[in-house]
């Protein structure tokens, strides 16, 4: 299998008595009910996955986000990304909400939405807030080897920036293909960054190479 470079692995942490997902971890497998029928996560191996959660159905910010993801769905598909929504609402609540969005806004939600009423996925990804009883607004990018590569949590009152999510996916795919990291504010078409040398001798060689700004910083085209 392909092994991408510059994979950040952070220490494990616990949420209560549960071992929560962390960067660099293999995504946990699960079989769940969705608005598109039963789904087993391991069946998606070999694909990029964007798993995102929303606090609750029939909420205003989440409604705008779902329509936003639906409008960019073809763009995600061209990138080979599977979108999966999630909350701890029931399948009937999901169906009623998606039906309302289609009827009121003319937007059909084309991706599956997990009805995580048992909180199996929400607990694994540290997404459930027991105080409010709703799901935390989270986003996870999972690579074709089913490794968790990116995770970010938003407060309930802040909507996500889909442009940034797509930029991050493109950056991961750039790294996946080229083994180059990406500098600040990287956009597709920009140069990447070569990994820094790890010996004194290699550092002396690196600083003389084309594209080297310092011995530890070299930009290169893919």
Tokens coding 82: 């599977």
What's 156-182 look like in SS3? CCCCCCHHHHHHHHHHHHHHHHHCCEC
Q: Which neighbouring-strand residues pair with 37?
A: 34
In the set 44, 50, 62, 148, the catalytic residue is 62
Question: Whose CA is closest to 192, among 208, 172, 169?
Answer: 172
Rg (CA), the chain: 20
Residue positions counted in the chain? 222
Q: Rounded to whole angstroms, how far apart are CA atoms 79 and 74? A: 9
Annotated catalytic residue 62? yes
The set of residues, in sequence order, having a beta carbon less than 8 Å from that of 172 and lying 6+ positions away, is: 4, 48, 141, 143, 149, 150
C-alpha angle with apex 50: 42 to 98, nearest 5 degrees?
100
The set of residues, in sequence order, having a beta carbon less than 8 Å from that of 113 and lying 6+ positions away, is: 34, 35, 84, 85, 86, 87, 94, 98
**Any idea which residue has 């694909």 for tokens?**
47
Q: Rounded to whole angstroms, how far apart are CA atoms 125 and 139? A: 10
Catalytic residues: 62
């Amino acid at each position: 299998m392909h092994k991408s470079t510059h994979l950040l692995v952070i220490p494990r942490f616990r949420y209560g008595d549960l071992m929560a997902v962390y960067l660099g971890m293999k995504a946990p497998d699960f079989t769940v009910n969705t608005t598109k029928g039963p789904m087993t996560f391991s069946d998606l191996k070999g694909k990029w996955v964007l798993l995102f959660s929303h606090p609750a159905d029939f909420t205003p910010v989440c409604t705008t986000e779902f329509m936003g993801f639906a409008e960019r769905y073809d763009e995600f598909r061209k990138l080979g990304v599977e979108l999966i929504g999630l909350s701890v609402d029931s399948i009937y609540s999901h169906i009623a909400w998606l039906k309302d969005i289609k009827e009121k806004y003319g937007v059909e939600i084309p991706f599956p939405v997990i009805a995580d009423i048992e909180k199996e996925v929400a607990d694994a990804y540290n997404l459930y807030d027991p105080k409010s009883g709703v799901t935390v607004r989270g986003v996870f990018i999972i690579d074709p080897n089913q490794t968790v590569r990116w995770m970010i949590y938003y407060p309930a009152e802040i909507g996500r920036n889909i442009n940034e999510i797509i930029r991050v996916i493109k950056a991961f795919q750039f790294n996946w293909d080229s083994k180059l990291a990406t500098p600040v504010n990287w956009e597709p078409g920009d140069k990447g960054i070569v990994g820094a040398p790890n010996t004194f001798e290699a550092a002396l060689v690196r600083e003389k190479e084309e594209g080297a700004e310092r011995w530890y910083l070299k930009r290169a085209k893919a």
